Amino acid sequence: MNKEGDKGSQSPNLSPLAPGKCPQRIARRGNYGAFLMDKLPLIKSLVEKLALNLNVPVSCKIRIFPNLQDTINYARMLEDAGCSLLAVHGRTRDEKDGKKFRANWGAIKAVRDAVRIPVLANGNVRHMDDVHSCLMETGADGVLSAEPLLENPALFAGFRTTEWALGSEESFEDGKLDQADLLVEYLKLCEKYPVPWRMIRAHVHKLMGEWFRIHPHVREDLNTQSTLTFEFLYDMVSRLRDLGRIPLYVKEGHAEEIYTNGTVHE
């Protein structure tokens, strides 16, 4: 369960997210996350209990079953139990590698057509073109992103990493922003709102992935640090910038529009 007080929605943690591990091995041992899909009556009772006893909406996030009708029945069951918002990850529980297994947007559309509550689509969203395609193909009310957003938190602002910009048939230009900029902003937030260092370390690796592939000696310096400090991380960013910039990209001619609209604040 994920309780946040009296504000926001309460969400049964039917499919928890963690960097690179969704679902996680620990979820199998702990009997939660997507592994609750084997115990639908239990899931139903959890959602009913929340819906009856909370004064805020209940949201759920699920993966799909190999059989489409099973997925539709699952979604309808959650709706009947009191779920007010349903997020659907278009991969089965066993499809762990997002790059190897494409999310099934058709299954998400089938769920959207089968229920009356809002549905969010999750899977195959790596940049804004994917967002628009997903909304069109699924009819979903919104879109989620997990792994790509960890690497590029500016995804929904219209920025792409080198991988998805240079691999496109369209023209892209330097967006005057890079992952080092985003990392600095993230570190400042962590200083203001402390989180465990293990989480910071994991997010640094995600944000700096492309830089570390080019400069593995900097990554090794990070890995050898048994105790991290903000001073070390800010210094690491400076070192990487001195070694060469790796920009995030925007569609040619769109940079001024993005900044003018206030999407990005320097």
Instruction: Give the catalytic positions in this structure.
Output: 22
The DSSP symbol for 241 reads H
| Residue 199 in tokens | 């989480």
What single letter denotes the amino acid at residue 260?
Answer: T
Residues 144, 125 contacting (CB under 8 angstroms): yes
Helices (H) and strands (E) in the chain — how many of each? 13, 6
Six-digit token string for 73? 């029945």
**Helix intervals (H) in the chain:** 25-30, 40-53, 68-81, 105-114, 128-138, 147-151, 162-165, 179-192, 197-207, 209-214, 216-223, 230-243, 255-260
Asked if 174 and 118 touch (Cβ cutoff 8 Å), the reply is no
Alpha-carbon span 122 to 142, nearest angstrom: 9
Question: Are 225 and 201 contacting, i.e. CB atoms less than 8 angstroms apart?
Answer: no
Label residue 126 exposed, middle or buried (CB < 10 Å: 0-12, 13-18, 19+): buried
Q: Are strands 247-251 and 172-178 parallel, antiparallel or unpaired?
A: antiparallel
Residue 241 CB neighbours (<10 A): 15
